[in-house]
Structure 1
């Protein structure tokens, strides 16, 4: 079955990045951006820009009846996930494939509880250095979408259908046959990068070079590596080296979403990162002092808004 209709919920950095790519290569009404009426009015009046160009998006409200999506992509922030799950109801049919580009390692399970884990392919967006300020997104590197089946070693018909679609629209991707490890690896990277750049009020360049910030980042990542052994994932030094190589490709002037959130005095996703690490540390009685310090510092910054 050929993939023809895409629905996206969440016009943050990744929503704009993917939505703009799809919209330029598909019939306009086949790429639906789901948003409530107030948001749609704002998007239409102020426009949404990607690398200086206005995006020509087709918007639909959650209430509008429509043909189910062949692919449904979640690109919301974690705090908006439950509302987003309710909002996409008309877009989910029996053959809909769901991809979640959210940070962390829990969103797939939460979505799957409502719509069925059989509809979900695990996915990780990586290698992009997108920065969103207001309604404007800029990036140098688009990165890629890594995805695959929940069961290690499998390449299902769903995975092949998505690959054929991505080939058709020239979206960079990689199929991974051990997506749980990939999810944990990206989680390890986010725990280190997002929080460190936010706390040091810097950018990717600060953690790409030797120094205190990079040492803090790697120490936070190593705490995730230790916990992964207790969770049966067993990340290794090779995984750490791989994700540091991904970091090295990003524009030094770019910065992750958490740093952008704190600069704009928005509340961050620290609960997904250090919060999750601290919770697992308590569960397994493993000390996580670096993530404790990062968590406390970010909470202190947020409490000062």
Structure 2
């Protein structure tokens, strides 16, 4: 199987390394210093399961130069996806599958506006991994858990085939989702809320969980986001307390949501696609979102980075 990794950051870098270890033909769509490092030096992964260093990779900033792949895994930040999505067509053949594994709930719609619907899958990933420097991935979690479903319809043979390929990789656990929209929203309700409160408090996962007041705010914000999902027809429970806590329970306590890492480093934030999406979709669904509205307004001054 030929796999294209779109975006060589924390998630894409991790999966690209693992797929390489399994002997698959991996190609990388990247840019800037990450592209240069991939081509000239390679990529290194630091992980509790063991460190891995790979030599020079097949990488380009041109989808045309890379050519078609059997599977395209899209991991770029959502604020880059709108401009990138139309450029991905040269990676697609008649039977190519496209798997977005991004934060937020809008990746599928952004890709569907530009690419054939029959190519698109939906997915969600749980991992604590970041790009420490070009070509260096630091993953603190001893796991990478992925759920996959079809973009439309019931998962079939191609999803099962992709699941089998990914499950053959070291440090990757993949399952077919019984309801991928619910799974995407479960993660989104947790992540948007944890990101908002962690950024407002400038606090790690453990610090938020250890503070009764901050933890209460996260749960309230997650229930707010879940109410938006239910307003849009997603079958989420009315109380998402356990849903939220179960997703962060085995995360490294000194870990920080990626949006907090970006905030502290002065990088652009995914705010528009986390709390911003809760607010925007809440208006669409007629659901009030006071906590996420507050977080969005306070953090908006940092949204474009330094």
Q: Same fold (TM over 0.5)?
A: yes
Asked if residue 179 in structure 1 is aligned to residue 180 in structure 2, the reply is yes
Q: Secondary structure at the match of 2:122?
A: strand
Q: Secondary structure at the match of 1:124?
A: strand
Counterpart contact for 1:130–1:254, Cα < 8 Å: no
Write out per-residue CA displacement over residues 60-101 of structure 1, whole angstroms, 9 at most, x where no aligned residue.
331544552111010101121133324433211110011001
| Match in the other structure for 1:5 | 2
Write out per-residue CA displacement over residues 73-130 of structure 1, whole angstroms, 9 at most, x where no aligned residue.
101011211333244332111100110011111111221222211111110011x122
Task: Give the direction of change, closer, same or farther, for the CA distance of 1:146–1:240 in structure 2 (3 Å limit).
Answer: farther
Write out per-residue CA displacement over residues 152-186 of structure 1, whole angstroms, 9 at most, x where no aligned residue.
7x331121111221233353111112001111111
Q: 1-side partners of 2:129 and 2:175: how far apart?
A: 19
Q: 2-side partners of 1:44 and 1:217: how far apart?
A: 42
Counterpart contact for 1:278–1:288, Cα < 8 Å: yes
| Match in the other structure for 2:26 | 31
| Match in the other structure for 1:49 | 44
How far the C-alpha of 1:298 sits from its partner, in A, is 1.1
| Match in the other structure for 2:237 | 236
Task: Give the direction of change, closer, same or farther, for the CA distance of 1:185–1:114 in structure 2 (3 Å limit).
Answer: same
Task: Give the direction of change, closer, same or farther, for the CA distance of 1:23–1:89 in structure 2 (3 Å limit).
Answer: same
Counterpart contact for 2:5–2:75, Cα < 8 Å: yes
Listed as ranges, the matches of 1:40-189 within 5 Å are 40-44=35-39, 48-51=43-46, 53-56=52-55, 57-62=57-62, 64-126=64-126, 128-135=127-134, 136-141=136-141, 142-151=143-152, 154-170=154-170, 171-189=172-190
Q: What TM-score, normalized to structure 1? A: 0.89
Write out per-residue CA displacement over residues 31-62 of structure 1, whole angstroms, 9 at most, x where no aligned residue.
00112476522545675432164443321331
Q: Secondary structure at the match of 2:113?
A: helix
Counterpart contact for 1:15–1:75, Cα < 8 Å: yes
How many residue pairs match? The answer is: 298
Task: Give the direction of change, closer, same or farther, for the CA distance of 1:304–1:109 in structure 2 (3 Å limit).
Answer: closer
Counterpart contact for 1:105–1:183, Cα < 8 Å: yes
Q: What TM-score, normalized to structure 2? A: 0.88
| Match in the other structure for 1:19 | 16
Counterpart contact for 1:9–1:73, Cα < 8 Å: yes
Task: Report which of the two has the higher share of strand.
Answer: 2
Q: Which runs of 4+ in 1 moved over 6 A?
A: none
Q: 2-side partners of 1:165 and 1:178: how far apart?
A: 21
Q: Could you tell which deviates more after superposition, 238-247 or 98-107?
A: 238-247
Task: Give the direction of change, closer, same or farther, for the CA distance of 1:44–1:119 in structure 2 (3 Å limit).
Answer: closer
Counterpart contact for 1:206–1:214, Cα < 8 Å: no
Q: 1-side partners of 2:36 and 2:112: how far apart?
A: 31
Which ranges in structure 1 are unaligned for 5 or more consecutive residues?
none
Write out per-residue CA displacement over residues 212-243 of structure 1, whole angstroms, 9 at most, x where no aligned residue.
22122111101112222211113115654133
Q: 1-side partners of 2:43 and 2:168: how far apart?
A: 25
Which ranges in structure 2 are unaligned for 5 or more consecutive residues?
none
Q: 2-side partners of 1:47 and 1:67: how far apart?
A: 20
Task: Give the direction of change, closer, same or farther, for the CA distance of 1:230–1:237 in structure 2 (3 Å limit).
Answer: closer
C-alpha RMSD over aligned residues:
2.3
